[in-house]
Amino acid sequence: MSLYKDAPKILEAFKTGKGVAWGDHDKDLFEGTERLFKPAYEANLVSSWIPALDNGNVEKALKKGGLKVADIGCGHGVSTILMAKAYPNSKFYGFDNHAGSIEYARNKAKAEGLDEDRIHFEIASATNYPSDDYDLIAFFDCLHDMEDPIGAAAYALKALKSEGTLMLVEPFANIKFEDNLNLLGRLLYAASTMVCVPASLSKNGPALGAQTGEPGMSQVVKSAGFKRFRRAAETSLNIVYEAKS
């Protein structure tokens, strides 16, 4: 629905190539994105994605407590809140440059009974949030949208502890273009054309798009300075990548 409302802006972006910033879309996009991704996060984030990281060591440490986790581009905070509720002994930080989404996330966390001792939301970009030696930094379906994905990954590397873990959750994409010409690919290419690519172009970014796939994400992460990169888990809708220094 938001994309119908945004049609004039998108048409202008097609003509000029200047893109449309995330925050310049109709507000329905923010709610729509939350509703699109939330079921997959609820079904997989705690049950299989986090357990797949570093041979289960990340999950063990989160349960033990004392870890600091940053959720970059957190939007309405669905992923941040799910992790905070699942691992009450660790501290979670959600960062996003969209003020309206951060306000929504703060209110949602309060409604869920989570106080500042367990979860904190702050307006910040992917390259200027407090770099406080995090144990885990996560990007949920957002790194490919960014104006400087390599810079965002490089900043995460500096913000992580030496043995910290980077988790990238990206839309599912096969390596070969022709293998993405299916029902899921139709949805993801369409959404990417209307949202992801224009968002990156609005800041003169590389416009990776939602179907970047494993080779593209590997190149981004390794260009940022990470030495180890692997596919940790996948579902029909997402691929989870793990990177370490």
The tens digit of pLDDT for each residue in 129-139 reads 998 899 999 99
The domains located in the chain, with CATH, are: 2-244 (3.40.50.150)
Predicted pLDDT of residue 132: 84
pLDDT band for 84, please (50, 70, 90 cuts).
very high
**Per residue in 137-181, pLDDT tens?**
999 999 999 999 999 999 999 999 999 999 999 999 999 999 999
Sequence-separated (6 or more) residues with CB below 8 Å from residue 129 = 70, 72, 93, 95, 122, 159
How far apart CA 26 and CA 242 sit, in angstroms, is: 33
- Give yes or no for residue 70 having a pLDDT over 90: yes
In the structure encoding, which two tokens stand for residue 223, read together?
């260009």
Q: What percent of the chain has pLDDT over 70?
A: 100
Average pLDDT in the 36-42 region?
97
At 123 the three-state DSSP class reads strand
Confidence (pTM): 0.97
